[in-house]
Amino acid sequence: MLPSLYERMRKADRRRDARFATSFKATLVLDSGSRSVVVGDISAGGAMLQADMDLWPGRQLSLKAIDLDVNGEIRWRNDRLCGVAFSVPVDPFAIIAANAREGTDSVLEKPRSSSGRPDEA
């Protein structure tokens, strides 16, 4: 009998590093050129990317954004999402903060007031 989707996902989700949800633009550099991608989550050891291109496991790449310039390898792919393992550890907190400061669509938001609008500082 085949394992359920839940069992397969639970088994596959054995990452060493905590992941942090985010949403900022980055540049994916391949031997065939560079493309814009969205970083959906990041950890010290890798990231999940949303990319409008075919990226297959084993493909080598560089990922660049503010305070991020790292080599890596595609580890998995599912439709427009893919997972990248970095060749060296990175500081996810510094990268998320730097990209939020620069207004690159990070999900780090200002706290919302009771009216539902971001509080004014």
pLDDT digits (tens, 9 = 90+) for 23-65: 999 999 999 999 999 999 999 999 999 998 888 999 999 999 9
- Looking at residue 121, its amino acid is A
Is the pTM higher than 0.95? no
Comparing 2 with 79, the larger pLDDT belongs to 79
Q: Are 48 and 78 a contacting pair, CB within 8 Å?
A: no
- Would you tell me how many other CB atoms lie within 10 Å of the CB of residue 86? 19
Q: What does the DSSP assignment read for 37-106?
A: EEEEEE-SSEEEEE-SS---TT-EEEEEETTEEEEEEEEEEETTEEEEEESS---HHHHHHHHHHTTS--
Give the pLDDT score at 100: 87
CATH of 16-101, picked from 2.60.40.10, 2.40.10.220, 3.40.50.2300, 3.40.190.10, is 2.40.10.220
Average pLDDT value for residue range 96-112: 61
Per domain, the residue ranges of the chain are: 16-101
